[in-house]
Amino acid sequence: MDLENQKRVKEFAEEYGAENLVVVLGAAEGEAAGLAAETVTLGDPTFAGPLTGVQLGLAVYHVCEPEIKEEFDEAVYDEQVSMMEMVLDVDDIVSEMEAIREQV
Amino acid sequence: MNSVIKGASYVLAHTPQMVVYNGTTQTTERIVNPESEYLKELESHLRSYEDCVNYWPNQVYIGNATPDELAEVEFPYYDKVKDGAERYGKYGEIMPEEEFILLVQACDQFEVVMLDKEFVSAHKDALAADPIITEDIVARVHEGVELANIETAVNDEHAEGLYIAGKLVGCVKRAHDIDVNLSAHVMHENLMSKASSVLALLYGVRNAGIAKDDVEYVIDCAEEACGDMNQRGGGNFAKAAAEIAALNHATGSDSRGFCAGPSHALIEAAALVKSGAYKCVAVTAGGCTAKLGMNGKDHVKKGLPILEDCLAGFCVIIAENDGENPEINLDILGRHTVGTGSAPQNVIGSLVADPLERAGMKITDIDKFSPEMQNPDITKPAGAGDVPLANYKMIGAMAVKKGEIDRAGLASFAKTYGLTGWAPTQGHIPSGVPYIGFAREDILAGKIKNAMIVGKGSLFLGRMTNLFDGVSFVIQANTKAEAEAAAGVSEEEVKGLIAKAMKDFAASLIAE
């Protein structure tokens, strides 16, 4: 995850409290989604950014996961996400995301 | 009349030592985690020049193999050798680091590059033997200095070292004592960009079959900025590179738009020529040292060589319609606007579906799409997937949503309308433009009738806006003959109308 984004996530967690944040990802690949999810829960696995060694344990989902999809207005989801949902390997993304959440 | 693509060039400079000393992944790691395993292992993963030349995607980039041939190569590519691979290709070349460093010194007008005497004498003949390098460029190469002077500059004066096989052979000094915009780091980055742009310009002119004096304007569309503390991005890479390439009748300017820069610049160039402002415009860009080894950590972790070990450049020559070469059709322009939004379907809609719809065309009326053409050999091990393929899936999904193809057709869309990526991950370099050379040839050969070039850019990286950006345009077979035939009829008609009016007027005078 981009170093500046890590910094912003860290600042938001300090400002609002980790329990009040949900991180929604839009990564196109399971692996990339998993890395970002790991960064905001267990810490930056690349040891490069401000979240190195920082276990924020934030709630984190991909926008194509059912938990997030059901929160959307259907028309908005169709307009904003449905095309990507058609092309992404959603099952792979869901399993990567679940694997990270299980470790938290 | 639309302007045409007269020719294109694609060049690489193999710069493994700059991966180590100048790529930001490595320089950041050296600050954040200086004892890391990655830094210890890095050098053993650097490729030799021969391996770099033999690499399939590099041979495609310089025109020694086609994207179709690459698609037949079993993935991954890094462990395969392209038979008959060569330094020189029809679009350009892969220059070794030693010669490139000499070219960089030849591009330096302010004596900030110092090279070791012995290094210069060992490699100057090799640079001079390069058929594209002119005598006046070779004449710009200085004799060099004692190594001790270079060591002092690096150790005591913040100069950026230039290395070959880990040995110091030269440096880039700062161009000002306190101005960070002229620091050794910035001067190094900018001179590398300039030198690779010069190489691209030289091949661009050659490949277009024009004289250097034919070029009236140069647009540089790389992602660097040159200037000083009072005008950080004042410019002008375009004119600076044109000077070294001896484009003596040209002026120019820099156009920027992150990775979308080249597509913006090509539309601007096509419009400048079509308007009659200039007869011939060269769009050029050099490479980016910061991005060398960008995904190196993942490559090393997975036991791969460092695949991002080349600075890349390209040049496209846009000229007045010659009745032969493919045209840029300025009536079909896609643009991501301020109001478009950043959802992928809005982006693809604005860049692909909407401009075609405005022109009364369908997505399937385009024979080939060239979005971001990153080499998947580089991006897949880094978890970023196959970028061109992801783009084709999105374009295909858009065609499904618009009812132009059925969902079952989505699987074959990429193969039919797409290409396998081969371009180095140098930001602006893979963005749409790598296919222009092949597209020109495929259209001339009648293999395809048109192609859409799509450039996209992540403006939010500059922290000035959260917006995304992109523009697209269509290259099509030449229509001059048809346009003239159509214009010819109407001209006759106009003459007829004038003659009739004169006759009527004369008749009315006689009647009076």
What distance in Å separates residue B461's CA from the closest CA in chain A?
10
Quick check: B442 pLDDT over 70? yes
C-alpha distances out from residue B14 to B100, B179, B258, B438, Å: 8, 30, 23, 23
Q: Is the peptide bond before B54 cis (omega within 30 degrees of 0)?
A: no
Partner-chain residue, chosen from A29, A47, A80, that has the shortest CB–CB distance to B343: A80
The model's confidence at residue B487, banded by pLDDT at 50, 70 and 90, is: confident
Strands A59-62 and B160-164: unpaired
Question: Stretch B465-481: mean pLDDT, rounded?
Answer: 95
Average pLDDT, chain B: 96
Quick check: B248 pLDDT over 90? yes
ipTM (interface predicted TM): 0.72
* Measured distance CA(B202)–CA(B126) in Å, rounded: 17
CB contact under 8 A, B345 and A84: yes
Q: pLDDT tens digits, residue range B149-186?
A: 999 999 999 999 999 999 999 999 999 999 999 999 99
Q: Residue B486: its pLDDT value, please?
A: 84
Do the beta carbons of residue B511 and residue B505 sit within 8 Å?
A: no
- Only one residue has tokens 């004596």, namely B111
CB contact under 8 A, B400 and A48: no
| First vs last C-alpha separation in chain B | 46
Interface residues of chain A, partner chain B, Cβ below 8 Å: 4, 28-29, 31-32, 35, 46-48, 52, 79-84, 86-87
The model's confidence at residue A4, banded by pLDDT at 50, 70 and 90, is: confident
What distance in Å separates residue B382's CA from the closest CA in chain A?
8
- The full DSSP string for B203-220 is HHHHHHT--GGG--EEEE
The model's confidence at residue B511, banded by pLDDT at 50, 70 and 90, is: confident
Spell out which residues of chain B touch residue A80, defining contact as CB-CB under 8 Å: 341, 343, 345-346
A-B CB pairs within 8 A amount to: 53
| B486/B9: higher pLDDT | B9
Q: Residue B480: its pLDDT value, please?
A: 92
Question: Stretch B472-480: mean pLDDT, rounded?
Answer: 97
Q: How many CB atoms lie within 10 A of CB B445?
A: 8
Q: How many CB atoms lie within 10 A of CB B36?
A: 15
B164: enclosing H helix or E strand? strand B160-164
SS in 3 state form for B85-153? Answer: CCCECCCCEEECHHHHHHHHHHHCCCCCEEEEHHHHHHHHHHHHHCCCCCHHHHCCCCCCECHHHHHHH
If we measure between CA atoms, which residue out of B235, B250, B223, B237 comes closest to residue B430?
B223
- For residue B32, the one-letter residue type is V
The model's confidence at residue B344, banded by pLDDT at 50, 70 and 90, is: confident
Q: pLDDT tens digits, residue range B195-205?
A: 999 999 999 99
| First vs last C-alpha separation in chain A | 18
Q: Please count the residues of chain A.
A: 104
Q: Residue B490: its pLDDT value, please?
A: 63
Where b means 16+ CB within 10 Å and e means fewer, B361-371 reads: bebbebbbbbb
Do the beta carbons of residue B266 and residue B370 sit within 8 Å?
A: no
Q: pLDDT tens digits, residue range B399-425?
A: 998 999 999 998 899 999 999 999 999
Quick check: A38 pLDDT over 70? yes
Q: Is B394 on the interface with A (CB under 8 A)?
A: yes
DSSP assignment letter at B160: E
Q: pLDDT tens digits, residue range A46-72?
A: 888 999 999 999 999 999 999 999 999
Measured between CA atoms, the residue of chain A closest to residue B397 is A83
Measured between CA atoms, the residue of chain B closest to residue A86 is B397
Q: How many CB atoms lie within 10 A of CB B203?
A: 27
Q: Is B275 on the interface with A (CB under 8 A)?
A: no
CB contact under 8 A, A83 and B397: yes
* Measured distance CA(B6)–CA(B283) in Å, rounded: 12
Measured between CA atoms, the residue of chain B closest to residue A93 is B383
The model's confidence at residue B37, banded by pLDDT at 50, 70 and 90, is: very high
- Give me the residues paired with residue A26 across strands: none
- Give me the residues paired with residue B450 across strands: B476
C-alpha distances out from residue A99 to A70, A87, A103, B338, Å: 21, 22, 7, 38
Backbone angles phi, psi at B299, to 5 degrees: -65, -45
Q: Is B76 on the interface with A (CB under 8 A)?
A: no
Question: Stretch B81-108: mean pLDDT, rounded?
Answer: 98
What distance in Å separates residue A80's CA from the closest CA in chain B?
5
B457 Rama class: left (phi>0) / alpha (psi -120 to 50) / beta: beta
Environment class of B417 (CB within 10 Å of its CB; exposed 0-12, middle 13-18, buried 19+): buried
Residues 6+ apart with CB under 8 A from B88: B62, B131
CB contact under 8 A, A83 and B410: no
Q: Residue B196: its pLDDT value, please?
A: 98
B341 Rama class: left (phi>0) / alpha (psi -120 to 50) / beta: left
* Measured distance CA(B378)–CA(B55) in Å, rounded: 12
Quick check: B461 pLDDT over 70? yes
Q: pLDDT tens digits, residue range B200-227?
A: 999 999 999 999 999 999 999 999 999 9
Is the Cα dihedral B31, B33, B36, B41 positive or negative?
Answer: negative
Do the beta carbons of residue A68 and residue A61 sit within 8 Å?
A: yes
Q: pLDDT tens digits, residue range B59-87?
A: 999 999 999 999 999 999 999 999 999 99
Q: pLDDT tens digits, residue range B296-311?
A: 999 999 999 999 999 9
